[in-house]
């Protein structure tokens, strides 16, 4: 049985995008949307996730 890290290794990029989007939604619900730190962190998570996902897709040859 493979560990979770090796099993979902090719989905790190999409996980970062989803986590960044969830952070944006939670910050809106909780009222943290006026905090630039939370917004910048979620934006960086989404951008880094997109870059990682594109690189992994290119490496697999499905791009």
- Per-residue model confidence as pLDDT tens digits over 24-38: 999 999 988 788 999
Better pLDDT: 8 or 2: 8
Query: Has this prediction a pTM greater than 0.85?
Result: no
Q: What is the pLDDT of residues 13-27, one digit of tens each?
A: 999 999 999 999 999
Which residues, in sequence order, are CB contacts of 44 under 8 Å at separation 6+? 20
Distance CA 6, CA 59 (A): 16
What DSSP character marks residue 18? H
Count of alpha carbons within 13 angstroms of residue 3, beta-carbon side = 3
């Amino acid at each position: 049985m493979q560990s979770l890290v090796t099993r979902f290794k090719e989905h790190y990029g999409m996980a970062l995008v989803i986590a960044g989007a969830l952070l944006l939604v939670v910050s809106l619900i909780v009222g943290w949307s006026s905090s630039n730190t939370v917004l910048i962190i979620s934006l960086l998570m989404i951008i880094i996730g997109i870059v990682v996902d594109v690189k992994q897709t290119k490496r697999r040859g499905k791009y």
